[in-house]
Amino acid sequence: MSEFDIINKYFAARAKNRPDVRVGIGDDAAVVQPAPGSELVITTDTLIAGVHFPETTLPYDIGHKALAVNLSDLAAMGATPAWVTLALTLPQESADWIKSFCDGFFTLADRYSVQLIGGDLTRGPLSITVQALGYAPIGKALLRSGAKPTDLIYVTGTLGDAGLGLRFLQQGITLDVSYQPWILERLNRPEPRIMAGEILRFLASAAIDISDGLAADLGHILESSHAGALIYPDQLPLSEASTCTLAPAEAITLALTAGDDYELCFTLPAELRGTLERLPSFPCRLTCIGEITRQPGLELRYQNGNPYHGPIFGYQHF
């Protein structure tokens, strides 16, 4: 098949038809109409085979994750996703691979009413670049720079699960068979916290998604907000799979450093704690793990007062 045959059969035919897309796939560029009273929120991520996912990863999972990591960035901004572009570089044409990739990509896209509006297809080493575009009410997008001293620090979900899955695949650690499907899904098919982000844009003071490890990503909030933080490692939310597989100290280290969880880390004015925790239908687990401080830097201390001395460095891109 030619480039355009592939685009028409596997991508254009499966793209949703949102009413705010005037021109989608098929022209030199797309034309979209943002909702009145909103501003655009735009993010881009690239995934490289052997760097951002193991070479053996199923194409369905690659398609899901390539989109999920971008939707997660929008969630961290409190944005509602709407449109995406996809630049796909393939080493060879494989109808089965492309179909499975598209199944993963569009299953997630359809869940959040996201339309593919354009992109590029070329030959070369396997890489996927997705640009995701969403919108938020004017002035309501969450930033990294809004944290203030005495704000509480929260995370969604559980931490360290994707890192545990990667250790299982690459190091062959013993993992009970009952945990394996769920842990591998946490690694390969992360769920972007879109609905949580849409709620938090009216409550949180700052937010980021956890892609490189909690300590590293929280550090970006602290740097942008010119603040410090006190974190209680024994308050970190850990899954049953993690606590039953790893020693306590190792599970905590993984939660702090492993990354790829794509949970949200956010700060909240202390006076809004009751408001947040009384919400009747927050879409996922929430855990308060510490607070923002005036003293710059990240301090980690157990609730009994003992300092944490383990690793805190997360994934390094270079």
Q: Is 234 annotated as a binding residue?
A: no
Q: Is 44 annotated as a binding residue?
A: yes
Q: Which amino acid is at 141?
A: A
Q: Is 260 annotated as a binding residue?
A: yes
Q: Is 45 annotated as a binding residue?
A: yes
Q: Is 120 annotated as a binding residue?
A: yes
Q: Is 73 annotated as a binding residue?
A: yes
Q: Which amino acid is at 16?
A: K
- φ, ψ of residue 221 to 5 degrees: the values are -65, -45
Q: Is 119 annotated as a binding residue?
A: yes
Q: Is 52 annotated as a binding residue?
A: yes
Cα–Cα–Cα angle for 271, 277, 283, rounded to 5 degrees: 135
Q: Is 110 annotated as a binding residue?
A: no
CA distance 263 to 210: 5
Q: Is 96 annotated as a binding residue?
A: no
Q: Are 229 and 298 in contact (CB under 8 A)?
A: yes
Instruction: List residues forming the annotated binding site for Mg(2+).
Output: 28, 43-45, 73, 120, 209, 212
Instruction: List residues forming the annotated binding site for substrate.
Output: 52, 260, 315
Instruction: List residues forming the annotated binding site.
Output: 28, 43-45, 52, 73, 119-120, 144, 209, 211-212, 260, 315
Instruction: List residues forming the annotated binding site for ATP.
Output: 119-120, 144, 211
